[in-house]
Amino acid sequence: MTDGGAPRVRALEYTTRDLEVAHQVLRDTYVDHRHRLFGASGEFVYRQHTVGAGELAMDSVRHTAAVENAVEPLTYLMFGVPLSPSITIRAGRAELRPGRGEAYLYPTGVPFTVRWGELDVRLLRLPIERVARVAARSTGIAVADFRFDGMSPVSPHAARHWRDTMAYLYHVLSAPDSALANPLVHAAAVDLAASVAVATFPNTATSVGHLAEPGRVAPAALRRAVAYIDAHAHEPVTVEDIAEAAGISSRGLQAAFSRHADTTPMSYLRRVRLERAHRDLLAADPARGDTVADVARRWGFASLSRFAAVYREEYGRSPRHTLRT
């Protein structure tokens, strides 16, 4: 089970006009590198805005000098969307020059060079291990065998979905009193980023067939999984946690819910949490200061509008109406 402690939402704003200081900040934030200026620095400005919670971090970086950087291997995943079209990334024989607004993934585990005339970029950082576990859950690939093997999205549609996901996560992270301080919301946000990353960028899980149908799963395993979800819905539960409690593999768990319940483990978990939120709204009292937002976040719903929509679909009225009656 993931750590149930509340992740601290952190924010950093930094500005400097000193090139050497800027690159030390880049080293401290991201990875060691050697930089070489290849043009006049002029009126140099470096600005960095970072917001993060637990395993998820996002950055807005602007660097106005033309430099080439020899970068040490990254030990985590870093995705970018440039707002200026002057970046070139090289790793071995591979080279990428993303245009304005074109999503990309920095190479991991290998040294690379990145060169820009002027940098203005949005970044998202995730642990490799978390993404590998999500890929293993959905495809059956061994965690040790998972890796990304390309810098560009697999399709324009996938690229748009990734950009939309980054924009949504940045909005949630940057909001005052961010919902990502709630461990359930945080776990869901990291899983969302990981799932969309696996679907967007080429990797060993999607380029090789790992979707063999699991064998028959006994109904007793499904009952154990349901009992575990019911008992732990208030915690940041993962598919791996449920599968371990049920005594089957993650793929077997997915197959059991599909075959016997016509749903997925996480859909069932969301339904249980919605039922608990409904129960809490019935017991809440606005005179005590209870709010719909508090209940929604308690049960892992980051978006209040999304919570209201699924609540109305299930119960035929708004959560605000339930709270008032």
pLDDT tens string 57-106: 999 999 999 999 999 999 999 999 999 888 999 999 999 999 999 999 99
Pull the structure tokens for residue 241.
């946690």
**Model pTM score:** 0.77
Summarize pLDDT for 114-146 with one digit per residue, the tens.
Answer: 999 999 999 999 999 999 998 888 777 888 899
Average pLDDT, the chain: 89
Q: Is the pLDDT of residue 198 over 80?
A: yes
Query: What mean pLDDT do residues 275-296 have?
Result: 92
From residue 199, how far is each of 41, 152, 189, 301 by CA, in Å? 39, 12, 16, 23
Check pLDDT > 80 for residue 41. Answer: no
Residue 24 has what pLDDT? 97
**Confidence at residue 5, expressed as pLDDT on a 0 to 100 scale:** 62
Residue 185 CA to residue 180 CA, distance in Å, equals: 5
Distance between CA atoms of 146 and 23, rounded to whole angstroms? 32
Q: How far apart are CA 30 and CA 33, in angstroms?
A: 9
Q: What is the pLDDT of residue 214?
A: 53
The two three-digit tokens of residue 140, written as one number: 């059956």
Return the pLDDT at 11. 92
Query: Is a pLDDT exceeding 60 seen at residue 213?
Result: no
Whole-number pLDDT of residue 175? 85
Q: How far is CA 306 from the centre of its chain?
A: 18
Query: Is residue 211 predicted with pLDDT exceeding 50?
Result: no
- pLDDT of 3 over the 60 cut: no
Please tell me the distance from the alpha carbon of residue 283 to that of residue 295, in angstroms, as a whole number.
11
User: At residue 150, does pLDDT exceed 60?
Assistant: yes
What is the pLDDT at residue 210? 46
Average pLDDT over residues 171-189: 87
Could you report how far apart the first and last alpha carbons of the chain are, in Å? 37
Quick count: other Cβ atoms within 10 Å of Cβ 207?
11
- What distance in Å separates the CA atoms of residue 69 and residue 205, rounded to the nearest whole number? 31
Angstrom distance (rounded) from CA 192 to CA 173: 14
Mean pLDDT value across residues 249-259: 85
SS3 247: coil
In the DSSP assignment, the letter for residue 99 is -
The predicted structure's pLDDT at residue 302: 84
Tokens of 152: 């560009």
For the cut 90, the answer to whether the pLDDT of residue 39 exceeds it is: no
Give me the architecture of the 268-324 domain, per CATH: Orthogonal Bundle (1.10)
Tokens 């005590």 belong to 288
Q: What is the dihedral of CA 268, 273, 277, 280, to 10 degrees?
A: 120
**Residue boundaries of the structural domains of the chain:** 1-211, 268-324
Distance CA 295, CA 234 (A): 12
* Tokens found for residue 316: 């035929």
Task: Name the pLDDT band for 217 (thresholds 50, 70, 90).
Answer: low
Q: What is the mean pLDDT of residues 16-33?
A: 96
| Second-level CATH architecture of 1-211 | Sandwich (2.60)
Using the predicted structure, report yes or no on whether residue 19 has a pLDDT greater than 90: yes
**Cβ contact 50:59 at 8 Å:** yes
98's tokens: 């993303």
Residue 209: pLDDT over 80: no
Run of H or E including 142? none
Identity of the amino acid at 307: F
Cβ–Cβ < 8 Å for 110, 125? no
d(CA 152, CA 2): 30
pLDDT of residue 126: 97
H or E element that contains 202: none
User: How far apart (Å, rounded) are the C-alpha atoms in residues 266 and 136?
Assistant: 15
Share of the chain above pLDDT 90, in %: 59
Give the model's pLDDT for residue 208: 56
Q: What is the pLDDT of residue 244?
A: 87
